[in-house]
Structure 1
């Protein structure tokens, strides 16, 4: 049956009437996801979501998450240090449940972290723990504020030269960019992002799976991931490349043993050798994300935190001998 002219006009008018609704729904998807498991901290015009624990002895442990990963990615690690170390794990603006605030370099991102720590009343010293690109942010904080950092733990951390020195990683970065663009579009138009981005998050403690999967399905998270990917390549890597760490700063590097090609291992060893006080552990059976989000390999990160918190040798004042 052939549609009449009036039927075509009615269909066109109906589509035009629905268009503003569709646009409004798409724009609403850019709002930060609901169901945050932690608290929101407001300071200096920022509104940052964080999981905070003040119990325990020793330095406060500060976590920097990987690209597009909500702060809940550290849940197994947090269970391992709970009650023994105070800690804060937060969503950088645009990640997880924290609203985006535009593109920022590493130093400006560190300013947000410092503001959060001040607002929470958590004094130095800190042990910083970074996963993937979060390792660059943690490293930048330690280099820029060395008097505040007692130790550094890098779990499958990005290396500022990985894209220029390792062809396989350069190709991987292009694939990451493509995947982020695809997931950003799918989530913006309300299309399911599919099972692959959720694979690791479903391995978290059961009570955190639903809220984490919901967050990672959000268009806001993938928009934030796209912005961070841009500054990771254009600014973060450049800012940290030539900033030395204190030679006595304990640096623990954990490298996933699965698919760790020799060139990747070279870069990971270089990260450990940023300090004279270091250790490098290759975690067999773990891959890039599973190292943090799977229960058994996460225990290796707990051990690295314990080491980094106590490995720095104190400087002893000379004794005043009587004449």
Structure 2
């Protein structure tokens, strides 16, 4: 737990040694455990850090009467606020820039915002299954996001608040996201605790609810301050954004992703991962780890030559 000032503490986990430091940012409403396999793999080469955004996982949720001075600018559970929190966390932890910033889904909004604002602190930006900010202008997507996905998360929050989730976990009707023989009992128990924790799930709901606002913030910042040409950008996508989503929505996201990449980061390296969707960070971690190790090797080679 790192004290980031203003009475706020955030959960940070770093593994490995050396530079550049790789920072992993999670999808919407998820705790840092989803990066378990990628972090373990890449930390054999360098320092790899995961963290829980405020209110998620084991990071403290701000109380209503606490103020940081930033809420006048950035609302809670929006990208601008998350990037402000992350910047204070990295400073408080004493981690040395430049960083390789890796984000998945909502984490790509944060990575992009951070890279445009704090460009001298970033060497590489990796976008895994980015949500194009203009997708929320599409009626079908908004209907799916706010009409189906958000209510299902609100039901989970209610289930945790009433104690029903704990019973369903005991009965095996709810299972942790990260599981398998390579996952320790500690990680399993941590996930079960969070699935039963209404505060964690409340923050997950808030992140989804304010996703449209986050998209607007990212769109504005990329127009206001273009990305430095010194930062390399890569985007990793699978066969679909979410294989559990209707096909027409997957096609819509894929089309908008290509357009967004062409317009915002035309020199980016686009990597396709066969058989993957937005769950690739824990279901196809080796493909991501391979790409990150390659970036780390390139940066370390440049450091030695300098």
Q: Secondary structure at the match of 2:211?
A: helix
Output the CA distance in 1 between the equivalents of 2:290 and 2:144.
30
Cα offsets for 1:113-172 (capped at 9, x unmatched): 1111111111110111111111111111011111111011111122211222372x3333
How has the CA–CA distance of structure 1 residues 282 and 170 changed in structure 2, closer, same or farther, with 3 Å as cutoff? farther
Tell me how far apart the structure 2 counterparts of residues 77 and 197 of structure 1 sit (CA, whole Å).
24
Task: Classify the secondary structure of the residue corresponding to 1:161.
Answer: helix
Of residues 273, 294, 302, the one that matches 2:289 is 302
Distance 2:129 2:40 in 1: 20
Structure 2 partner of 1:206: 183
Counterpart position of 2:78: 105
Match of residue 257, structure 2, among 268, 289, 298: 268
Map of 1:152 onto structure 2? 125
Unpaired runs of 5+ residues, structure 2, are 65-75
Give the structure 1 partner of residue 276 of structure 2.
286
Q: Does 1:66 align with 2:27?
A: yes
Deviation at 1:42, TM superposition (A): 1.1
Contact 2:104–2:127 (CA under 8 A) maintained in structure 1:
yes
Aligned CA distance change for structure 1 residues 302 and 166 (closer, same or farther; 3 Å): farther
Is contact 2:105–2:130 with CA below 8 Å preserved after alignment?
yes
Structure 2 residue matching 1:201: 3-state secondary structure:
coil
The answer (yes or no) to whether the contact 1:61–1:88 under 8 Å persists in 2 is: yes
TM-score of the pair, normalised by structure 2: 0.79
1:109-258 equivalences in 2 (<5 Å):
109-165=82-138, 167=140, 169-174=141-146, 175-192=148-165, 198=175, 200-203=177-180, 205-207=182-184, 208-234=187-213, 236-242=214-220, 243=222, 244-258=226-240
Q: Give me the whole-angstrom Cα distance separating, in 2, the residues matched to 1:163 and 1:185.
A: 26
The structure with the largest alpha-carbon Rg is 1
Instruction: Give me the whole-angstrom Cα distance separating, in 2, the residues matched to 1:264 and 1:205.
Output: 32
Question: Which ranges of 4 or more aligned residues in structure 1 deviate by more than 6 Å?
Answer: none
What's 2:4 paired with?
Answer: 43
| Contact 2:9–2:59 (Cα < 8 Å) also in 1 | yes
In 2: Cα distance, 1:270 partner to 1:141 partner? 21
Q: Retained in 2: the 8 A contact 1:62–1:128?
A: yes
Q: State how many pairs are aligned.
A: 269
Which runs of 5 or more structure 1 residues have no equivalent in the other structure?
Answer: 1-39, 315-323
Deviations 1:170-195 (A, max 9, x none): 33312111111111111111112757
TM-score, normalised to structure 1's length? 0.75
Shift, 1:298, TM fit: 1.0
Structure 2 Cα separation of the partners of residues 121 and 176 of structure 1 = 38
In structure 2, C-alpha distance between the alignment counterparts of 1:49 and 1:111, rounded to whole Å = 15
Q: Distance in 1 between matches of 2:126 and 2:174?
A: 25
**2-side partners of 1:283 and 1:123: how far apart?**
31
Change (3 A) 1:172 1:196: farther
| CA distance in 1: counterparts of 2:260 and 2:97, whole angstroms | 23
The CA deviation at 1:263 is 2.3
Are the structure 2 counterparts of residues 205 and 219 from structure 1 closer, same or farther at C-alpha, using a change threshold of 3 Å? farther
